[in-house]
Chains A and B, each alone.
Chain A
């Protein structure tokens, strides 16, 4: 197995396995902070008017629901237990278009 070559096919490559856990959780931290900022600071920025409370409530609910949706989808894909079952033609195309093609004996 040419493990070095295989690893470099992925965008997050070059980082050793010991830092993997940091890598995998970084987007969670970043996006949680982003949504938390919207959740907390957003309502404070609303202009005074008859609908101030409604807009505040709307911002908070939007931030929370968007965050929970994103974080659930992210965590659900962190450690997949099954992989996709693809046609051989699709696999060949993936090998060609997305990353380093598989080792070939012939060709």
Chain B
């Protein structure tokens, strides 16, 4: 059968490859991405493996490259695809180059940092000089003392006062001042000036607000204390000349030095090749020829090795990985299934059917032509531009999710248009394409005297239904919900039973493939009979009620007042209750109903013990037969066929009991669970109607041109809420519910999901995983 019907057949191969040829062959395999290697040295410590030094070298190189990339101001350009692989000699050259560049960059960064801190201190000094000019001018003016200054160790003496000048972080100034005041017992004079422009810290790169300060004091003791406080508050102290002329000179010098600073940068990028040295791998049978080609190519490239590489099939009882070959269209659906659990090896794959049933069940819950159109438009645009959009690698998870699911959204939108046409709902309005089948039968007097009137189907209905979908008259009806509720509930149950029956039938395919035909009789037949005899009979009753009872029936037993509730009939059938007949209504819908229902019930009840004991009894009998055979023939073969051992009979019975109870209760609860199809479509329709009637209708009322401005604004509001609530929120909600229906109600009937994913050795997968953290694909498909 086709690609997606069940997972591919896998072959375990052993490769015997020369060391020289190994490198090239592994490279080819990495490009092809078809082989999953098994660890043949699981007990060996990572550090004791043979090629650990090579791996270490490669990780070192990677680390250095990552560090270099982090130092760059812009992200590096994407690596170019190398035309050929790298020989070990080329790797040595590469390693040397990387080392050289790394040390260069480290030195440059060190220099840059030094330069930056120099720059910062010079800047602060310059500002300090400018600001303190004002202080000293004041001082000189007031004290009339000539500015002769002796400078030793960053302090100066102005007349009898010594002073210390420096720069401190602004947020520390109040506590700094307070501390100085305290330690000097108030004998200092503190002046400060705030630097408006924030300065960049060279180490952290943050911008800091700084303040220039000058502290005037008298005496050596206070000088020491002030210096200690300055150190504590991390204030940088600067030599500050007191004379104007000296200040100007210093200022000039500082400015020239600032202008002389420059920074240099470098960049490059490259591919890294990882090595693998395990010679046992899982390969899909269809790709074996690629494996052979890779080994041969490696042989050709390696210099003169006389021993050919050998590909050897290993027959094994181990469980191979599960591999589903997907393309860009089917990958989304396969991901939905794999999120629940990877399929067991060669089990039937539900993803094939999910391609259609998932969008269809979504559309039953979403049914609106307008919203479906919006979804289809969005998805088509994304699909049309998918090549361009795929090149942009973003970290935006939400966009990546939407992009990955673009085909799912496209199908959901298309089906939603169809179901919207059937529900006759376009932005909560109905379309009258074929002409409604209901007419007004009341005359003007009746209309004038009654506010609300109900149309009688015997008179107002044309006796043929609207040919495609729901009649448009129901949109205006006040009892719209009553009619639709009963109708949509029945519709949901019908869909549910069909979907579940389909799921149970899938197990037949599995039984057939794995040669367990006895389970078809012991498990499938009782399960399907139980489901169909009870719940498909319920659906048949629904169809019968729809066809047999009508408003224009000549027999009053089949008229509107005698139409029975299908649910009550079903409950009475299960509880074996008799219904009383109230003339002219009949107790039963058709002759022989009682006998037929009792027969169905009995058969369904018989199915339960068959489900419960069939499989365990069969396994017990098969084990006994095998033991007899073994004793008779006295062969020394080890019996490795059965999964359970003798004495595990209790376990088998318990497992089977759990499965049976799960299935039987599941038929009831899962059938009811499908009613969410009704619930969500009702919610969607009501939200849509509310939005129209309460928002857009206000803008449509009134006739003057001024109302057009109001309509413009109101339309914007309506459009926003339509997109945000109805398309996005309801879409997400319906998506989730459909996913649950598939995972729980559909797949629990046949799906095992005990497999593990095929993770081939593939360069594209590794490179992708370096960029993003969670891998987008759980199954390793060969790169396209």
Contacts and interface: CB of A to CB of B under 8 A. Distances in A.
Nearest to B437: A10
B462 interface: yes
Contacts of A102: 440-444, 447
A73 B444 contact: no
Interface in A55-106: 56-58, 61-62, 65-66, 68-70, 72-88, 90-92, 94-95, 98-106
Interface string B547-570: 101110000000010010000000
Contact of A91 (B453, B487, B563): B453
A97 B104 CA distance: 86
User: A74, A88, A107 — which one has the most chain B CB atoms within 10 A of its CB?
Assistant: A88
A62 B460 CA distance: 36
Interface in B344-365: 352-353, 355-357, 360, 364
B440 A79 contact: no
A88 B457 contact: no
Interface stretch (B471-479, B516-524, B774-782): B471-479
B463 interface: yes
B267 interface: no
Given A53-B2, A98-B439, A85 B479 contact: yes
Nearest to A90: B476
B465 A77 contact: yes
B464 interface: yes
Nearest to B354: A61
Contacts of B455: 83-86
Given A57-B353, A58-B356, A79-B550, A84 B454 contact: yes
A81 B563 contact: yes
A50 interface: yes
Contacts of B478: 84-87
Given A75-B543, A91-B440, A84 B474 contact: yes
Nearest to B327: A51
Contact of A53 (B5, B452, B487, B543): B5
A82 B479 contact: yes
Contacts of B468: 70
B490 interface: yes
Contacts of B356: 57-58, 61-62, 65
A90 B460 CA distance: 14
Contacts of B329: 51
Contacts of B450: 88
B436 to A, nearest CB: 6
Nearest to A92: B447
Nearest to A30: B467
B498 A68 contact: yes
Sort chain A's interface into a size bin: 35 or more
B422 A70 contact: yes
B546 interface: yes
A81 B549 contact: yes
A47 interface: no
Contacts of A27: 467
Contacts of B465: 24, 74, 77-78
Contacts, number: 202
Contacts of B483: 80, 82, 84
Interface string B428-461: 0000101111111111110110111111110111
A29 to B, nearest CB: 12
A75 B469 CA distance: 10
Contact of B551 (A6, A50, A79, A92): A79
B234 interface: no
Contacts of B2: 51-54, 56-57
A33 interface: no
Contact of B452 (A54, A75, A85, A99): A85
A84 B466 contact: no
A14 interface: no
A76 B490 contact: yes
A9 interface: yes
A67 to B, nearest CB: 11
B463 A24 contact: yes
Contacts of B434: 11
B83 to A, nearest CB: 29
Contacts of A74: 465, 467
B419 to A, nearest CB: 7
A89 B543 CA distance: 35
Interface in B316-372: 327, 329-330, 352-353, 355-357, 360, 364
A5 to B, nearest CB: 11
B4 to A, nearest CB: 6
A87 B491 contact: no
A83 B464 contact: no
A81 to B, nearest CB: 4
Nearest to A80: B457
Contacts of A100: 439
B742 to A, nearest CB: 13
Contacts of B463: 20, 24
Given A23-B464, A98-B436, A61 B357 contact: yes
10 contacts: A6-B439, A27-B467, A51-B329, A54-B330, A57-B356, A65-B356, A80-B457, A84-B454, A84-B473, A88-B447
Sort A-B residue pairs by CB-CB distance and give the 9 closest, nearest first: A53-B2, A84-B477, A79-B550, A83-B455, A10-B462, A61-B356, A77-B465, A95-B440, A85-B479
Given A79-B546, A83-B454, 12 more contacts: A9-B462, A11-B435, A13-B462, A57-B356, A68-B498, A69-B419, A79-B549, A81-B550, A82-B454, A94-B436, A98-B436, A98-B440
Interface of A: 6, 9-13, 20, 23-24, 27, 50-54, 56-58, 61-62, 65-66, 68-70, 72-88, 90-92, 94-95, 98-107
